[in-house]
Amino acid sequence: MAELLFGTGGTPHSSRTPSTVDGIKRIAELGLGCMEIEFVQGVRMGEAAARLVAETAAREGVKLSAHGPYFVNLNAREPEKIIASQGRILQTARIASMCGAESIVFHAAYYLGDPPEKTYNTVKKNLAEVMNQLKRENNRVWVRPEVMGKPSAFGTVDEVLNLCTELERVGICLDFAHWHARSGGFNSYPEFISILQQIKQRLGDEGLDNMHIHFSGIAYGKKGEIKHLNLKESDLQYVALLRALKDLHAKGLVICESPNLEEDALLLQETYKNL
């Protein structure tokens, strides 16, 4: 990736229609650089539609990623739920690849009372099976477990980075809002720098050259994330974050998940450019 691109999680509110194709066109009109296609309620896109999405994105110069369905738990108790979860990740990766997306993100698992190490090993084993299948299919999409905002959800920065070092083509979806909500910290320039340096240390220069970031304001309490907020209604130190990303030359996609979507994506892009 040549630079840091900014865009929205899902079709911008100001798109002509909620379709992915109109969303991509609107991203380009707004001067933004990327968009995440939301398959959070299920993958409901056929091959022909995906080809049209790929053509549109290439023509408009918009980079794409895709968010997999919420109904995934790679630490589920029931074998059939594991198989269904793996199937949803595979389905997202297949359609994302047809759309020309370079990454998919998903919420990997819940601990369900298991110790973190046991959960980690189960998630790793089940995700490895997904990655082996994608390799057999020659699907080169990056598969990115998301850093999660609630302590009940698998997905600390360390857990996701460990998966990245152990499994080929697995990357991190670094959700700074989630990590702030979950940890109560990580909301200052030195802390943002420390996470980015951790990524560089664990994943090498490639880690910072190929980032996938989720960002928004966030409301949180004792149990972590409550809901997403617009940046200016939240305590997120977004200028400090952008400064840290710029100072360490981070490249990749920044997907804005604030309720106002494109408004905050543009705010981030403008602020970043003027630093």
Binding stretches for Zn ion (CB under 5 A):
146
Alpha-carbon distance of 19 to 86, in angstroms, equals 26
| Cα 222 to chain centroid, rounded | 24
The dihedral formed by the CA atoms of 197, 163, 143 and 136, expressed in degrees to the nearest 10: 140
Residue facing Zn ion at closest CB distance: 146
CB of 177 to Zn ion, least distance (A): 10
Q: Which is nearer to Zn ion, 150 or 251 (CB)?
A: 150
**Token representation of residue 187:** 């909301």
CB of 107 to Zn ion, least distance (A): 6
Q: Which is nearer to Zn ion, 146 or 262 (CB)?
A: 146
How many helices (DSSP H) and strands (DSSP E) are in the chain?
A: 10, 12
Q: Which is nearer to Zn ion, 42 or 61 (CB)?
A: 42
| Cα 25 to chain centroid, rounded | 21
CB of 205 to Zn ion, least distance (A): 26
CB of 190 to Zn ion, least distance (A): 26
The CA–CA distances, whole Å, from 87 to 72, 113, 126 equal 9, 24, 11
Q: Which is nearer to Zn ion, 56 or 141 (CB)?
A: 141
